[in-house]
Amino acid sequence: MEDILDLYEEAYNPKKPVLCFDEKPYQLIEDIVTPIPMKPGSPKRYDSEYGRKGTCSIFMVCEPLTGWRYEEVRKQRTKMDYAEFMDKVSEKYPDAEVIRLVQDNLNTHNAGSFYERFAPEKARYLKSRFEFHYTPKKGSWLNMAEIELSALDRQCLDRRIGDVEILEREAKAWEEERNQKKIMIHWRFTTPDARLKLERHYKSVIKI
C-alpha cells in the first residue's frame, strides 16, 4: 500500500510515467421490447424483459497526472489480451525510460503474459518497459483505474447495450471527450493518512 501511495505523491516525470490499469467484465444486454422515448414530464421507459448477448471485458489504463486514459473492449481477458493491450500502451510512451504500472495482482497481470503472446525477444523488451506495482489483497481501491471505470459506468454505460461494436463506439467517444477535457484524478490519501486511519492494521502486522 505504501509503495503505491508514495508513487502517487511523486511529481510528474515523463520519463517514468505512473499509470493505473484495471479491467472489468461487461454483460451485453439488448431490449426485447422497444423502449418508449422520453418526452416532457416523462423519462425514457424500458420493459423489464431483456436479452443476454454474451459478455466481454473492458480494459482501462489512465495516467492521473496528465488526464489521459485509454480503453479497449476485448472479447476475453486472457493473458494474450493483456499482453496485446500492454503492447499498445508501451507504444504510446516511446520516450519513457520505464512505465510504472499500478494494477491488481491477477494471474494474467505479469510479464509471463508477454511470453504467452509474443516471441521471446519482444516479450523481453516489453518486460523491460514496465515496472509493476501491485495493489495489496483487498486493496484494489488504491488503483485509480477503478475510478475511471466507475466514471465510464455512470456517464456512458448507464443503459442497455447489446452489441460489441456499439459498446466500442460509445466507450471510445467517452474516452476522447474526457481526454480532450484532460480530466485528472486528484488523489488525496497519503502514506501518513494511511498510518493514522489504518493504525489497527499496522498493529496487527507488527504482532505477526
Name the β-bridge partners of 133: 102
- pLDDT at position 202 is 82
Q: How far apart are CA 86 and CA 113, in angstroms?
A: 10
Any domain includes 191: no
Any domain includes 27: yes
- pLDDT at position 29 is 80
- pLDDT at position 46 is 63
- pLDDT at position 33 is 63
**CB distance 102 to 7 below 8 Å:** yes
- pLDDT at position 41 is 83
**Segments of the chain scoring below 50 in pLDDT:** none
Ordered alpha helix ranges (H), 12-163: 79-91, 112-117, 120-129, 145-155
Any domain includes 164: yes
- pLDDT at position 39 is 81
Any domain includes 176: yes
What digits encode the pLDDT tens for the residues 60-73?
999 999 999 999 99
Buried b (16+ CB within 10 A) or exposed e, 9-48: eeeeeeeebbbbbbbbebebeeeeeeeeeeeeeeeeeeee
Any domain includes 203: no
Any domain includes 131: yes
- pLDDT at position 49 is 66
Mean pLDDT of the chain: 92
C-alpha cell at 115: 511470453
Q: Which domain holds residue 32?
A: 10-184
Q: How many structural domains is the chain composed of?
A: 1
> Which CATH number do you get for residue 116?
3.30.420.10
**CB distance 89 to 19 below 8 Å:** yes
- pLDDT at position 190 is 94
Any domain includes 208: no
Any domain includes 60: yes
pTM: 0.88
- pLDDT at position 207 is 63
